[in-house]
Structure 1
């Protein structure tokens, strides 16, 4: 959790952003959580009434403050998406809770901010075709489950094939990478794939989960990307959205490097990129 405090401090310290660039989201209405998540699950979660097995799957002790935090994160992603409609891009300093299923939490995720945001956009007719590009090292299994029958959302996940979750869901497109995959192979696969998805699906909104756990320094990732590889990965996604005039919401996803500076740097550079391309 430390990175959520350090990342904005770093961006302000280096002059990439000012404190006025940050916003504290207001909670969205409950109906937007229920539009994505099973009402029984959401109400039991809110009442702290999950079973011990359900809490173990989440990985955190279940508290009211944790549930509130997840609701704030999802609200932040929705508001960042609204900013993106006005300015081309919006950023959530947190988010990317892609292991939350429609009816359960998993892997430190209780509510799926990516899915909640996509459904908010579609329900309000702010978008008609939402592309989810999930480049966290772990498959976006919850997002895949939520949208498995949908044709107005396209889920693309490129992840470590042998990493968590061990039982994968089926995204609209999955690319599983072997352990040790480095910059060249990773970027080649991504740069070959994304233009094809755009041509086939023709999205009018893009949600990008930009986890830094693909770094070689990550303790859980098992891939081998460098900081420059992360930067080129993000530039590939962000530039493609900008060049095709597709509004883009970015959420941060995971990062578990031993040195916190590696995590902060991995996340900070996408904010620098957004600032240089859009503002």
Structure 2
């Protein structure tokens, strides 16, 4: 590690491997094969496609948008990284078992992932096969936060665990990656004082809402199906712009509301960065989302958000969050390709940071540094 990288890693109170120098030949797209959860078929017991992140990358490679050399390799968030937000008590719960006689039960992780057989797995396997992938995706979101400030945009192909707060997980969310990415930016990147979360997953983002309930630096817009999990009335107090949808909401109404409220949110408060939770569980037929948005509607939705950010010269970090049909990976890839075709993100090493949003960001002095619930 270079002296410059080491200095970056130490800002904010502890040394981290997540704020690294990224070669200009890389696109600000973060991913690791470690994201994908595969273990004895247990992942198939939850409707979540636990391999969708790898499929997105496969499609983007197939369409020659990225190569292995142009992806930023995500690193696993360490316990010190996680303690920036999470309590020691909560992290300890993820490591420990409930003992009954000679058996050790992984109760907390089984509850969070909603995969009951996880209850009976030894904790070292739970750590390696379930929690490590989620920690790596969490590290990817934190890395993408810095990349968004450096390049004007970044996409973590995973992440978006918006039901997890500092001391409680749920809905397949074990780590609060959105909260962590924002806290890292506040602590380590000079000039980042305000963040706006635009949460367009079908579910209410109660995790980051609980974390930022009393924090005026964070503006939260949340658009979700009012009738589904989590229905967290306490967390809703943190939402500055709340859009509650009915069952079966379709493209026209949805896109009108998204555009109206994204523009309204960014006109109300101009943040230093946007964190965009781009769940695809709004797709028609999703078993958990209960909405009826077409694939084309999802692509258009993402374009609306990125266009609003670009028009204002705002850095944007996108995470992929929920989505419970096999076709969602193709839709996410199509949306990223559309953002490139629309000139809203750059593609290919030749374009690099020189044609990114950097001219618009020069004012920022970056430091060196059973019933399933769902994402």
Select the residue among 144, 151, 166 that pairs with 1:102.
Answer: 166
- Give the match for residue 64 of structure 1: 127
- Give the match for residue 68 of structure 2: 19
- Give the match for residue 10 of structure 1: 59
Compared CA separation, residues 27 and 256, structure 1 to 2 (3 A): closer
Give TM-score, length-normalised by structure 1. 0.92
Compared CA separation, residues 75 and 180, structure 1 to 2 (3 A): same
CA apart distance, 1:157: 1.0
Q: Deviation per CA, 1:69-95, whole angstroms, max 9, x where unpaired? A: 221111101111221112111111110
Compared CA separation, residues 4 and 48, structure 1 to 2 (3 A): farther
CA apart distance, 1:269: 2.3
- Give the match for residue 273 of structure 1: 338
Select the residue among 16, 39, 60 that pairs with 2:88.
Answer: 39
- Give the match for residue 116 of structure 1: 180
Give TM-score, length-normalised by structure 2. 0.70
Paired with 1:112 and 1:27, the residues of 2 have a C-alpha distance of 14
Compared CA separation, residues 116 and 48, structure 1 to 2 (3 A): farther
Which consecutive unaligned segments of at least 5 residues does structure 1 have? none
Paired with 2:112 and 2:94, the residues of 1 have a C-alpha distance of 13
CA apart distance, 1:115: 0.8
RMSD (Å), alpha carbons: 1.9
Matches within 5 A, 1:243-258: 243-257=311-325
Compared CA separation, residues 252 and 42, structure 1 to 2 (3 A): same
* 3-state SS of 1:91 partner: strand
- Give the match for residue 196 of structure 1: 264
CA apart distance, 1:57: 4.2
Paired with 1:53 and 1:76, the residues of 2 have a C-alpha distance of 24
- Give the match for residue 76 of structure 1: 140
Select the residue among 197, 204, 209 that pairs with 1:139.
Answer: 204
* 3-state SS of 1:72 partner: helix
Paired with 1:145 and 1:216, the residues of 2 have a C-alpha distance of 29
* 3-state SS of 2:146 partner: helix
CA apart distance, 1:192: 1.0
CA apart distance, 1:265: 2.1
- Specify which structure has the higher proportion of helix: 1
Q: Aligned pair 1:88/2:155, yes or no?
A: no
Count, aligned residues: 276
